[in-house]
Amino acid sequence: MATRTAILALDFDEVFILAPGTPTAKGAYTDRARTLVTVKLDSGLVGTGDVWYSPRMIEALNVIVGDADKILLASSWGKASMKAAKAVGLHLPRRKTVNLFPYLTPGAIDQQCKLQRAHDLILDHLTDDDTRIVWVDDQHPRGYGQVDGIHTIGTDPVPGLTRADLAHIRDVLFY
């Protein structure tokens, strides 16, 4: 029997990069920390800004990332998404991480276009019945769904990923 392939596709803004306020949603990670991230913008200028995140959420997400066979970064921030992920402590092993938009800069593409292009690129990784893909993005409808065999999670901008979301990811990918 073939082993299941587990692929996690992640947007990052409003998924694990969060609003600075304390969320009140059930199961939300309420701890917040911030770090500065400097990125090249679409205009060619360089911008530096605060990035807020939950260290406990990142710790829990790192366990799933470590167990997954492949990580797909599906952020319109392109190359800057790798920088932001590393800045908050998300461990993205080089050998199994694919940036779907490596040449984009923040502001270079609108969200609807990004969703369509990411969907097509993610679908290329759905190679057989033993492949499970979970795609997390704040642009998806809130909650859980499935499109073309891809399991989707739509996050709320304030809490981002909740404990229930991480449990759902684990259930879909590994059980």
Domain encompassing residue 104: 5-174
pLDDT reported for residue 2: 57
Q: What is the 3-state secondary structure (H, E, C) of 35-89?
A: EEEEEECCCCCEEEEEEEECHHHHHHHHHHHHHCCEEEECCCCCHHHHHHHHHCC
> What's 94's domain CATH number?
3.40.50
Q: How far is CA 124 from the centre of its chain?
A: 18
Q: Looking at the 3D structure of the chain, how many domains does it have?
A: 1
Using 50 as the pLDDT threshold, list the residues of the chain that sit under it: 1
Q: How far is CA 17 from the centre of its chain?
A: 9
Q: pTM surpassing 0.85?
A: yes
8 Å CB contact between 71 and 95: no
pLDDT reported for residue 73: 94
CB burial readout 80-92, b (16+ within 10 A) else e: bbbebbebbebeb
For residue range 50-83, list pLDDT tens digits in order: 889 999 999 999 999 999 999 999 998 888 888 8
Distance, CA of 156 to CA of 48 (rounded, Å): 24
